[in-house]
């Protein structure tokens, strides 16, 4: 059903482009309404497998990247993507999140490898979930690879174990604190990976909610752009 809905979205989006080109306002309004309905149906679907989870979240990631110049659209699709992370992470991390909220360390030997089966090592972006004590609740493989580490190396670790104090105090902590307060945060910075390659990083933070709707951390989605790709 998910894949059929995505195909329906693509067909409707193509028809909408034609209607816009033909300046058919009635058709544009009808198709735009239909398109938003399909987007909502895709969001509301409960994925049944790792493949469907990946497909569902990547769908909203592509929409955010496609509309990157429209701030409201990016915020909307990023929120939807982060809500999906909340949906699929929450059932597997209730106890871990509760410990984070209580400001108790998450133990590496208590790491549940089913998280990796559930949550999207296949997404294109670097993904991390940071608890209220600035410790990692989750890290996907792409984020771990950037640092030449394994995802399990991050679980329970403080951000200061991964970045220096200056970057933590000046860049990460103030924005995380905003996110812990309920705000969506987006900013850009430059960083080198473990091999010394430079990237422009667009970091988007969205509050991570527990099952009671309280903020238990922040979902970080980091889009990478190699610095040399901007030349010319």
Token pair of 223 as six digits: 């889009």
Q: How far apart are CA 126 and CA 39, in angstroms?
A: 24
Q: Which domains does the chain have, with CATH numbers?
A: 75-230 (3.30.450.20)
* Helix residue spans in the chain (DSSP H): 2-21, 25-44, 50-66, 71-101, 114-118, 141-146, 165-167, 173-180
Q: Note down pLDDT in tens along the chain; length 232 residues.
A: 888 999 999 999 899 989 988 889 899 999 999 999 999 999 999 887 777 887 888 888 778 777 766 767 777 887 788 778 777 765 444 344 333 333 333 333 444 444 444 555 666 788 888 999 999 988 888 888 888 998 888 888 999 988 889 889 999 999 999 999 999 898 999 888 888 889 889 898 989 887 778 888 998 988 888 876 444 4
């Amino acid at each position: 059903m998910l894949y059929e809905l995505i195909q329906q979205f693509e067909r409707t989006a193509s028809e909408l482009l034609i209607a816009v080109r033909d300046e058919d306002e009635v058709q544009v309004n009808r198709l735009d309404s239909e398109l938003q309905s399909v987007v909502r149906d895709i969001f509301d679907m409960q994925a049944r497998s790792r493949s469907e989870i990946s497909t569902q979240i990547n769908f909203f990631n592509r929409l955010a990247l496609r509309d990157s110049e429209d701030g409201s659209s990016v915020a909307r699709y990023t929120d939807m993507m982060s809500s999906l992370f909340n949906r699929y992470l929450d059932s597997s991390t209730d106890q871990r999140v509760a410990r984070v909220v209580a400001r108790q360390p998450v133990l590496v030997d208590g790491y549940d490898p089913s998280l990796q089966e559930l949550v999207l090592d296949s997404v294109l972006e670097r993904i991390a979930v940071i608890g209220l004590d600035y410790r990692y609740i989750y890290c996907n493989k792409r984020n771990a690879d950037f640092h030449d580490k394994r995802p399990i190396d991050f679980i329970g670790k403080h951000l200061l174990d991964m970045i220096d104090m200056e970057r933590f105090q000046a860049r990460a902590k103030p924005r995380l604190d905003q996110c812990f307060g309920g705000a969506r945060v987006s900013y850009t910075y430059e960083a080198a990976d473990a091999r010394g390659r430079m990237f422009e990083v667009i970091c988007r933070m969205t509050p991570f909610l527990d099952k009671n709707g309280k903020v238990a951390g922040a979902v970080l989605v980091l889009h990478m752009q190699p610095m040399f790709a901007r030349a010319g």
